[in-house]
Amino acid sequence: RPKPDEKYYSTSIWGPTCDGLDRIVERCDLPEMHVGDWMVFENMGAYTVAAASTFNGFQRPTIYYVMSGPTWQLMQQIQSRDFPAELEEPDASPLPVSCARESGLKRPPATCASTSVNV
């Protein structure tokens, strides 16, 4: 969160690959950042992972899916091929209550469902 007396710097944001296509933001003003600080981008885009590569020795990122509880249950049924007879409308709650790593759809610990984010 910005502080009233905090100094801002003209900044460009790049991914780690040293590739000219890895520019995320051309110009924005940000406070001083430190290793371990988080930057959150909502709706980053459909091709952020599809365009990822292991160029320059970089590993593909771990992917986390976030969804409501009812949607999570539906995904579990689909995964086990035990499709429900009728699909109900998912919970319209704006807060995510479940998430999982791409490497497996096992329900994660409650810490993954936290709605707080370090910025």
Domain extent for 68: 64-113
Q: Which pLDDT value is given to residue 18?
A: 72
Query: Is 68 within the bounds of a domain?
Result: yes
Q: What CATH number is attached to the domain comprising 38?
A: 2.40.37.10
Domain edge (last residue) among 17, 38, 57: 57
Tell me if residue 18 is catalytic. Answer: yes
Residue 39 falls inside a structural domain: yes
Catalytic residue, chosen from 18, 28, 99, 112, is 18
Write the CB contacts of 34 (distance below 8 Å, at least 6 apart in sequence): none
Q: Which two tokens stand for residue 6?
A: 């905090």
Smallest Cα–Cα separation from 7: which of 26, 30, 25, 28?
Answer: 30
Same domain as 92, residue 76: yes
Domain count, the chain: 2
pLDDT exceeds 80 at position 98: no
**3-class secondary structure, 27:** strand
Q: Is the pTM of this model over 0.85?
A: no
